[in-house]
Chains A and B, each alone.
Chain A
Amino acid sequence: MNLAWWCSGISDTNWVWQPSYYPGIWSLIIACIVIYFKFINPERNRKHTIFFFIGILLFWIMTDWPIGSIGAGYLLSIHVTQYLLYTFIIAPLLILSIPDQIYNHLLSSKIIKFANKIFLPFLLINLSLIITHVPFVANLLKSYQVGTMIIDFIWIFTALLFWFWIDPRFTKTHTIPFPLRLFFVFALSIIPTIPGAFFVFSDYPIYSTYEFSVPISSLSPLQDQEIAGLIMWAGSTPILLAWLGRIFYVWQKSEDVAN
């Protein structure tokens, strides 16, 4: 029985379809569910609950065996898929699951107001993307369970902050103008193209974690890296287009109401 606290990139044996058990991931998921239903229960409605369940279910699927294990130590293409899902789907869903009263309260907090002024969430989400994809950092962190956990936490935390700031629920109290929201959501798709370009155009595998992993499929480490680059380039496009369309639609609607 393969038991560990969290997934890690120590893939020194060939891949077998036998479940690995990660109590750390289960504890986190259970804690999130307990907190959500114990403390947020009074204000939530059915829509919030659905968003929460889809968000937390996706988070669980992405972090636990097999996707979490493969992404941590075997295939870079799965690793970047995890990143895109955390950033563009799971985080917004979790934001949408917060009941209105708590959401508005958080939105009016001083930290958020401060963050708005210096575009902090935008800087953080891109910084986290770049730093966690620097080969030295990624190889080092992925060698340990704690390291992989840190990467997962950084991604989800900065994504939550970013989407909270963008305000996918379009509350009236929010201070970011619509054109700026469009700009930042669009800009969010630009930064991943930088590591994506390195992945696609490099002649060699960039991460030793994946270069020295036992082959899991007929893909070579370099082919896997090229696919990861293409996912970084185009994987987020449909989701981003949907978000941009939604923001634009709400913007137009609010203009119509104002007129």
Chain B
Amino acid sequence: MNVIKILTGILFCSSLLFACTNETDTVKSFGKIEQKNHNLQARMLQKSLEKNNVQLINSSGEIFSLEQDTNEQITLIAMGYASCPDICPMHLSVLAGAYNNLPLNMQRNTKIIFISADPYRDKQKITKWVKNFHEDFIGLTGTDKNLIKFQEQLKLPPAILVKESPDQENYAVSHASWITVFTKDNLAHFIYPLGITQREWVADLKLLHENKWEIYK
């Protein structure tokens, strides 16, 4: 009995160690987040990210590529899933309010994309679910392989389906909670954490559209 307890303890400790190691790797690969040295509410990435051409699809099966379909547009990307109980609807609700407050010309040049990391449940409904928040929002998902590749390219920690058994239908998905923002130069210099108000989003999006964002030396 004691042996089992000791083994369980070792297993638990090693899994914690493993988890910590993984986290460190993620942070390392994601890039060090610097102290604020810019005029936005965002967190600046140490190394800018490029748009990729990983193929994603909407609920109708139409292919979407970040590189081709959002060229020179301010593009906001959020990961999540339609059954998400908290962060995803919160993000989209705030973004919808902010988007409504943007001038029309800025709206036309802004793409807000929500990518479901749960294609099994969301493939058929993701586009409609996202459009519940705003008609202009884009809801996408993809194959497992493409989703992993897409997240890798954006240096996002890979989403994980938290299932206790393979047949479990009501499960959660662990995913990145921040929003990656691509500017007109087709590069992502910034990410936005949860907690940015609509007013702050509008102010920042205007700066991004007018190319008035700046990095202090």
Residues in A lying within 8 Å of B, measured CB to CB? 12-14, 203-205, 208, 211-215, 218, 220-222
Does B106 make an interface contact (CB < 8 A)?
A: no
Contact between chains at A12 and B93 (CB < 8 Å): no
Residues in B lying within 8 Å of A, measured CB to CB? 85-86, 89-90, 93-94, 96-97, 100-101, 132, 194-195, 197-199, 202
20 A-B pairs in the complex with CB atoms less than 8 angstroms apart: A13-B85, A14-B85, A14-B89, A204-B97, A204-B197, A208-B197, A211-B97, A211-B197, A212-B90, A212-B94, A212-B194, A213-B90, A214-B89, A215-B89, A215-B90, A220-B97, A221-B93, A221-B97, A222-B100, A222-B198
Bound Cα distance A1, B16 (Å): 28
* A214 touches which of B90, B96, B132, B198 (Cβ 8 Å): B90
Query: Can you name 18 extra interface pairs (CB under 8 A) apart from A221-B94, A221-B198?
Result: A12-B86, A13-B85, A13-B86, A14-B85, A203-B101, A204-B197, A204-B199, A204-B202, A205-B197, A205-B198, A211-B197, A212-B194, A214-B86, A215-B89, A215-B93, A220-B96, A221-B97, A222-B198
Query: Min CB distance, A108 to chain B, in Å?
Result: 52
For B85, list chain A residues within 8 Å (CB).
13-14, 214
For A212, list chain B residues within 8 Å (CB).
90, 94, 194-195
For B94, list chain A residues within 8 Å (CB).
211-212, 221
Q: Residue on A with the closest CB to B202?
A: A204
Interface residues of A: mostly helix, strand, loop or mixed? loop
For B199, list chain A residues within 8 Å (CB).
204
Bound Cα distance A208, B97 (Å): 13
Contact between chains at A205 and B97 (CB < 8 Å): yes
**Which 5 A/B pairs are nearest by Cβ-Cβ distance?**
A14-B85, A204-B199, A204-B198, A13-B85, A215-B93
Q: Residue on A with the closest CB to B195?
A: A212
Query: Min CB distance, A84 to chain B, in Å?
Result: 26
For A213, list chain B residues within 8 Å (CB).
90
For B86, list chain A residues within 8 Å (CB).
12-14, 214
Q: Residue on B with the closest CB to A212?
A: B90
Bound Cα distance A213, B197 (Å): 12
Bound Cα distance A12, B89 (Å): 11
Query: With A14-B85, A204-B197 given, is the CB distance from A222 to B97 under 8 Å?
Result: yes
Bound Cα distance A211, B101 (Å): 15
* B93 touches which of A13, A203, A208, A220 (Cβ 8 Å): A220
For B97, list chain A residues within 8 Å (CB).
204-205, 211, 220-222
For B197, list chain A residues within 8 Å (CB).
204-205, 208, 211
Bound Cα distance A163, B90 (Å): 41
Bound Cα distance A212, B197 (Å): 8
For A221, list chain B residues within 8 Å (CB).
93-94, 97, 198
Query: Min CB distance, B78 to chain A, in Å?
Result: 15
Bound Cα distance A208, B94 (Å): 10
For B202, list chain A residues within 8 Å (CB).
204
Query: Min CB distance, B177 to chain A, in Å?
Result: 12
Query: Min CB distance, B189 to chain A, in Å?
Result: 25
> Which one of B85, B93, B132 has the greatest number of beta carbons of chain A within 10 Å?
B93
Bound Cα distance A14, B82 (Å): 12
Query: Min CB distance, B204 to chain A, in Å?
Result: 14
Bound Cα distance A184, B55 (Å): 67
Query: Min CB distance, A73 to chain B, in Å?
Result: 12
For A14, list chain B residues within 8 Å (CB).
85-86, 89
Query: Min CB distance, B201 to chain A, in Å?
Result: 10
Contact between chains at B101 and A204 (CB < 8 Å): yes
Query: Min CB distance, B172 to chain A, in Å?
Result: 11
For B89, list chain A residues within 8 Å (CB).
14, 214-215
For B194, list chain A residues within 8 Å (CB).
212
For A13, list chain B residues within 8 Å (CB).
85-86
Query: Min CB distance, B115 to chain A, in Å?
Result: 20
Q: Residue on B with the closest CB to A205?
A: B198
Bound Cα distance A20, B30 (Å): 39
Bound Cα distance A203, B201 (Å): 13
Q: Residue on B with the closest CB to A14?
A: B85
Bound Cα distance A211, B198 (Å): 8
Bound Cα distance A204, B97 (Å): 7
